[in-house]
Amino acid sequence: MAMSSDTMKIQVEDISSINGTLILPCFEGCEKPPSKTMNEVDRVTRSLIKKILASDDFSGKSEENMSVFGGGNKVILVGLGKKENITTKIARDTGAKLFAKLNKKHGKTLTLRFSSDWKLDSMNAFVEGMILRDYKYDKYLSKNDEDDTDDSPYNLHIQCTPKNVKSLSDLCKESQNIASGVHLARDLGNAPPNDLYPMAYANMAKDWANGKKNVSLTVIDWEGILENKMGGLENVGKGSSRKPCMVIFEINKPAKGKGNPPIIVGKGITFDTGGISLKPGASMDEMKYDMHGSATVFGLMQALHANGHSEHIIGISCMAENMPSANAYRPGDVITTYSGKTIEVLNTDAEGRNVLADGLWKSGEFNPKFIIDLATLTGACVVALGHEASGLWSNNDELLEKIRAMGAEVDELAWPMPLLPAFEKEMTGSKIADVRNLGTSRWGGSNTAAAFLKQFVPKMSDDKDAEQYPWAHLDIAGTAWGASTNATVAHGATGVHVRTLYHLIKNE
Ligand code: BES
Ligand code: MG
Ligand code: ZN
């Protein structure tokens, strides 16, 4: 499977000469760019900029931007609103929106010039927005010879005051590597399910790990699933001719002992038809992104590795295709998971929780520091939070707060939701199995799903009263696919939470 297009070439430098189109970010009320810049552009451009800034046409309010085409210069003025109100979100979104408006007439060479009143984190966020938005999913479109679109990468010269050059350059390199992970996750989420099936994901992961000396990759294939009695994965995946697998990424495995790694577990349903509890036809095609939890896991590994992360970290992807067939599991079945706990299957469309039961249990074998799972788990979560925030549940307040705060900081919101004993009681109330995979009513569907998952979170010791490892669950059903309000994503898979988890794990 092809990977995303060539990325932007970036260099950070002192304010020097203008290359290509000049982009000038302006705060509200800015009267005119520094005289150095004004002297560099030609006379026609200079008088145009002056006239525009003096008129009511442009005042630097946020959402304003204007192209100025003078004699020999092309200039884009970009409004960011009041200087004292600038946030990384405003800077990132403005960078992304600006990038979306670039077209052929601006060319592929750009000079982005920040005046001295810009702070490092805002400059970096502005550039990050541009890089994140530099993404197209067009690998299945035939290229036509007459097509004159230029697919070569942009050349971006970022100019700032000399004292910031080194730090901004380091930050932009890091952002570019993080974006490579976000774009990989988006590629995986957008990939058509006929090409991206469980073992195709495993093979991509193997190719990626190949030759990287601090990465080890384990694939538990169909035989391995049967041998290990991973009944969640087995039963969800057995109705498909494309068999399920578990993919384990491990970076910086310690030479001795188990270490104490953070573990990220992803739901990887490469297509969710609902199985025998078949979904209605409308928008079923979108269920190709039901593997976005596993897409985020892979993208996160890529981002951490590319930035030379030196600590131990594990990712576990639970891959299966949920199909109806003569071999499919059925409502009424009782299945035995890897943990030994049994599940009464009441709806085969509640399949994500069944595969995660095995992934969560597996993480207990690695002495985890904490476990975070990501899953496009429930339509009910989309009803609750729309496309604006992922649902966040946890058995540990400190972990919950870390994820919430980091999500808010990088603008990938994660909203705390209740893990109530009543929901657990509902899900453990089956008369014939340890856990049921469906609530007793449709109310609170994302909460009952989280309460189900909690039954499979491993404990710190074999003692029956032992505490569970710190665990958090992110329901990304609403956030993993094109939200119209997300400036960094035009449409399709979003790569959500690669950035949140990257920064969270880096800060550990
Ligand atoms: N993959 C779906 C959840 C989903 C819905 C993701 C919409 C993205 C957008 C999941 O497997 C599912 O089908 N959940 C059921 C659970 C129900 C049967 C308890 C649902 O939400 O309807
Ligand atoms: Mg389903
Ligand atoms: Zn699903």
Residue-wise burial string across 201-226, b where 16 or more C-beta atoms lie within 10 A, e elsewhere: bbebbeebbeeeeebebebbbbeebe
What local confidence, expressed as pLDDT, does residue 36 receive? 81
Architecture of domain 9-176: 3-Layer(aba) Sandwich (3.40)
Closest Cα partner for 46 from 57, 30, 58, 35?
A: 35
Q: Judge whether residue 253 has pLDDT over 70.
A: yes
pLDDT in tens, 183-197: 999 999 999 999 999
C-alpha 376 to ligand 3 mean position (Å): 6
pLDDT in tens, 314-338: 999 999 999 999 999 999 999 999 9
Question: Is pTM, for the whole model, over 0.95?
Answer: yes
Q: Where in the chain are the domains? A: 9-176, 191-330+349-429+461-506
The ligand 1 atom nearest the CA atom of 380 = 21
What local confidence, expressed as pLDDT, does residue 1 receive? 45
Residue-wise burial string across 300-312, b where 16 or more C-beta atoms lie within 10 A, e elsewhere: bbbbbbbbebebb
Q: Judge whether residue 146 has pLDDT over 80.
A: no
Distance CA 186, CA 126 (A): 20
Token pair of 27, please? 């705060």
The ligand 1 atom nearest the CA atom of 438 = 19
C-alpha 273 to ligand 3 mean position (Å): 8
Among protein residues, the one whose CA lies closest to atom 5 of ligand 1: 379
What local confidence, expressed as pLDDT, does residue 168 receive? 98
Give mean pLDDT, residues 134-152. Answer: 83
Distance CA 376, CA 474 (A): 8
Q: How far is CA 230 from the centre of its chain?
A: 27
Among protein residues, the one whose CA lies closest to atom 14 of ligand 1: 378
Residues 60, 61, 65, 69, Cα dihedral to 10°: -30
| Beta-carbon-side half-sphere exposure of residue 485 (alpha carbons within 13 Å) | 11
C-alpha 448 to ligand 1 mean position (Å): 12
Distance CA 218, CA 304 (A): 18
Token pair of 112, please? 């982005």
Pocket of ligand 1, beta carbon within 6 A: 272, 290, 347, 349-352, 376-380, 382, 438, 445, 477
The single-letter DSSP state of residue 158 is E
Question: DSSP string of 389-456?
Answer: -EEEEES-HHHHHHHHHHHHHTT--EEE----HHHHHHHT--SSSSEESS-SSSTTHHHHHHHHHHTT
Residue-wise burial string across 132-155, b where 16 or more C-beta atoms lie within 10 A, e elsewhere: bbbbebeeeeeeeeeeeeeeeebb
C-alpha 349 to ligand 1 mean position (Å): 7
Helices 165-190 and 498-506 cross at an angle (nearest 10°) of 130
What local confidence, expressed as pLDDT, does residue 4 receive? 46
Nearest bound ligand to the CA of residue 273: 2
Q: Judge whether residue 500 has pLDDT over 70.
A: yes
What local confidence, expressed as pLDDT, does residue 186 receive? 98
The ligand 1 atom nearest the CA atom of 445 = 19
Sign of the torsion angle spanned by Cα atoms 416, 181, 386, 126: positive
Among protein residues, the one whose CA lies closest to atom 7 of ligand 1: 379
Token pair of 381, please? 């979560």
Best of 288, 318, 347, 349 to mutate for ligand 1, by most ligand atoms within 8 A of CB? Answer: 349
Token pair of 483, please? 């939200």
Asked if 222 contacts 245 with a C-beta cutoff of 8 angstroms, the reply is yes
How far, CA to CA in Å, does 380 sit from each of 11, 90, 236? 45, 30, 21
Distance CA 361, CA 121 (A): 39
Say whether 156 sits in a helix, a strand or coil.
Answer: strand
Give mean pLDDT, residues 216-230. Answer: 98
The ligand 1 atom nearest the CA atom of 381 = 21
C-alpha 417 to ligand 1 mean position (Å): 17
pLDDT in tens, 3-61: 444 689 999 999 888 999 999 999 998 767 777 888 888 888 888 888 888 888 888 98
Closest Cα partner for 21 from 73, 65, 63, 58?
A: 73
What local confidence, expressed as pLDDT, does residue 343 receive? 98
Distance CA 395, CA 393 (A): 7
As a whole number, the mean pLDDT across the chain is 95
C-alpha 289 to ligand 3 mean position (Å): 9
What local confidence, expressed as pLDDT, does residue 172 receive? 97
Architecture of domain 191-330+349-429+461-506: 3-Layer(aba) Sandwich (3.40)
Q: Judge whether residue 112 has pLDDT over 90.
A: yes
Q: Which residues surround ligand 3, an ion (CB under 5 A)?
A: 269, 272, 290, 352
Catalytic residues: 279, 353
Best of 283, 290, 378 to mutate for ligand 1, by most ligand atoms within 8 A of CB? Answer: 378
Q: Indicate the helix (H) or strand (E) that contains 121.
A: helix 120-133
Say whether 370 sits in a helix, a strand or coil.
Answer: strand
| Beta-carbon-side half-sphere exposure of residue 335 (alpha carbons within 13 Å) | 31
